[in-house]
A and B are shown apart, each in its own frame.
Chain A
Amino acid sequence: MISRVARRRLQSHVMTGLTVVAALLALLPLFAIFADLVLKGASSLNWDFFVRNPPAAGATGGGVANAIVGTLLVVGVGGLIGLPVGIGAGVYLAEYPHTPFARTVRFVADVLNGTPSVIAGIFVWIWVVRPMGHFSGFSGGVALAVLMLPMVTRTTEEMVRLVPQSLREAALALGYPRWRTTLQVMVRTAWPGILTGALVAVARIAGETAPLLFTALGNLNFKTDLLQPMQTLSLQIYVFATSPFAAWHRLAWGAALVLMAMVLVIGLLARAVTRSRLTDG
């Protein structure tokens, strides 16, 4: 009897131990990747890295100024299109949740959320790049907007639905029209949450590459014209990592470190917004 209990206890301890091992193993690649990013990336960071353009194939020196500016522009276009549309659609879903149309939109948004990002690239190639006749930073932004739209829609909906209905009823009872109630009471109360969702979505699209391959295309020159092919950090990393040149490999690691830092800063900002809501009460 005693040995049977002891055996069961032992089994419990062993299995618990195995889940600890699983947690450690899961964290291993995270630390490995961050360590490599810092070790291999930090050494390429210098003044030139931020203000110069890439060197010719095989040459050394230079930087990724074109890609940093391109990332900001393309992600900016994506956010300018994707955020208003996504927030509007999300507010619709929260305000009229039970109409058949709302159910359809919700379902389609969930479906699109799981769609591979490369498909968004094809979509925008068909609808924007082909009619325009050439690749452009603008079409890259549209691809990112398509990608973030379902995410922003669903998080906005969730955040607005968290606002107590009693607030709405109070506003309506005071004679507020419905639209002002929605905007000035419901959306305003939910705003920090909506903002967090928006920032998380921006962080997600900032690192995307696949949808930009057939839209923004990439460009080794410095361009701020959104109608021209445009470089982003992600595209730059792809091109440089798959090239045979050591100087480009070093730039790729530096670009990866900068991109990762960008994504993390936006992510931390998103968390800070949520926290400020909690402390404000």
Chain B
Amino acid sequence: MRGTTGAGRGDVAFRLILTGLAALVPLIFLGLVTQLAWSAWPSIRAFGFRFLVSGTWDPVAGEFGAGPMIFGTLYSSLIALVLAVPLAVGVAIFLTEFAPQWIRRPVGTLVELLAAIPSVVYGLWGVFVLIPLLRAYVVPPLQAVLGWTPLFSGTFFGNSMLAAGIILAIMILPYISSVSREVLAAVPSSQREAALALGATRWEAVWSAVLPYARPGLVGAVVLGLGRALGETMAVVMVIGNRHELSASLVEPGYTMAAVIANEFNEAAGLQRAALFEIGLVLFAVTLAVNAFARLLVWRVARDSAVGSTAL
């Protein structure tokens, strides 16, 4: 087939062009990893492992540690998961198992529309709608009852871990529910029919036959949502308060890795910039691991779905 004719030469040239374009994808990856590591090196050498746990962030003394940001990233994402997972899986179960046929598409589309809202618009809404709402109706009663616990101690100024967690929950909900739907839809109907034939109620069929079968994929959907939450930047930077301090309290401000990069990168120089590069490197590595793990899990159930590339 590949002769020395004109057509053959055209084929070779065509393949070369396509290969060149495709090669840009791994090249970007390599260029990113190597340069990120290279630029972070001064910080890695200066602070070593201490960087990941230290809470000092002192541009004047040239002393940097990412402890509070790493903690804040994990904490805000955890809050988001606690709020979003039951809702998202509930929506997915409703839409694949219980909802009448005519409702499935419109409701599914509407939920996925949440993923189309730009991050900065979530931030805007958080600043001017959600935070005033929290300040007026949610946090005062919570503090009145639970103010003695470490979770709700401290003064609430608005910008807080809680606000960031709620916004993140809304943002990752469409991703978790859309992947969960794909996973649940991939469960063979023989699973349901077998349970129903044994006399199970519709819920029992879902609970005992569908969910166990789908479990790895559902965990994958959740982990995928986690990956989104960990790297989310704009909405978080606008509502979390951007404070270099570690606090378990939901009502106090915090910081995340992505937020500190967005907030300080342009003003940073020297060692501070290297420290921000190192935070970028850590964030990149963490989201990479989380996403790879999620894909593995989802593929075990719904092998052919291109996870994460579907939602608008």
**What residues of chain A have their CB less than 8 Å away from a CB belonging to chain B?**
8-9, 11-12, 15-16, 18-23, 25-27, 29-30, 32-33, 36-37, 40, 84-85, 88-89, 91-93, 95-96, 101-102, 104-105, 108-119, 122-123, 125-127, 146, 149-151, 153-155, 158, 177-180, 182, 200, 203-204, 206-210, 213-214, 217, 234, 237-238, 241-242, 249, 252-253, 256, 259-260, 263-264, 267, 270
Contacts and interface: CB of A to CB of B under 8 A. Distances in A.
Interface string B124-140: 11011100000000000
Interface string B15-57: 1011101111110110110011001000000000000000000
Given A33-B121, A110-B295, A115 B261 contact: no
B287 interface: yes
Given A101-B19, A101-B22, A8 B201 contact: yes
B260 to A, nearest CB: 10
Contacts of B14: 178-179, 182
B17 A88 contact: yes
Contact of B204 (A12, A40, A96, A111): A12
Contacts of A214: 265-266
B231 A117 contact: yes
A241 B238 contact: yes
Contacts of A11: 201, 203-204
A103 B31 CA distance: 19
A116 B87 contact: no
Contacts of B129: 32, 36
Nearest to A259: B118
B110 to A, nearest CB: 6
B95 A23 contact: yes
B220 to A, nearest CB: 12
B202 interface: yes
Contacts of A108: 25-26, 29
A19 B116 contact: no
12 contacts: A21-B90, A36-B128, A96-B15, A114-B228, A122-B277, A154-B309, A177-B10, A180-B10, A200-B312, A213-B262, A237-B123, A256-B121
Interface in B76-121: 86-91, 93-95, 97-99, 107, 110-111, 113-114, 116-121
A252 B125 CA distance: 10
B308 interface: yes
B283 A116 contact: yes
B35 A127 contact: yes
Does more than half of chain A's interface fall in helix, strand or loop, or is it mixed? Answer: helix
B94 A123 contact: no
A177 B288 CA distance: 40
A213 B268 CA distance: 13
B185 interface: no
Given A30-B111, A88-B18, A102-B22, A19 B90 contact: yes
Given A88-B22, A105-B26, A116-B233, A210 B119 contact: yes
Interface in B213-253: 224, 227-228, 230-234, 238
A19 B94 contact: yes
Contacts of B231: 114-119
5 residue pairs, one from A and one from B, having the closest CB atoms: A207-B118, A116-B231, A22-B90, A88-B21, A114-B291
A206 B89 CA distance: 29
B151 interface: no
B280 A119 contact: yes
Given A111-B292, A146-B28, A116 B234 contact: no
Contacts of A25: 87
A124 B303 CA distance: 34
Give the interface centre of B25, B117, B290 by most chain A CB atoms within 10 Å: B25
Given A123-B31, A146-B28, A30 B110 contact: yes
A108 B28 CA distance: 9
A95 B14 CA distance: 11
A158 B203 CA distance: 35
A153 B25 contact: yes
A150 B170 CA distance: 25
Give the interface centre of A16, A116, A150 by most chain B CB atoms within 10 Å: A116
Given A22-B86, A92-B19, A27 B119 contact: no
Contacts of A206: 118
Given A126-B35, A213-B266, A207 B288 contact: no
Contacts of B13: 179
B284 interface: yes
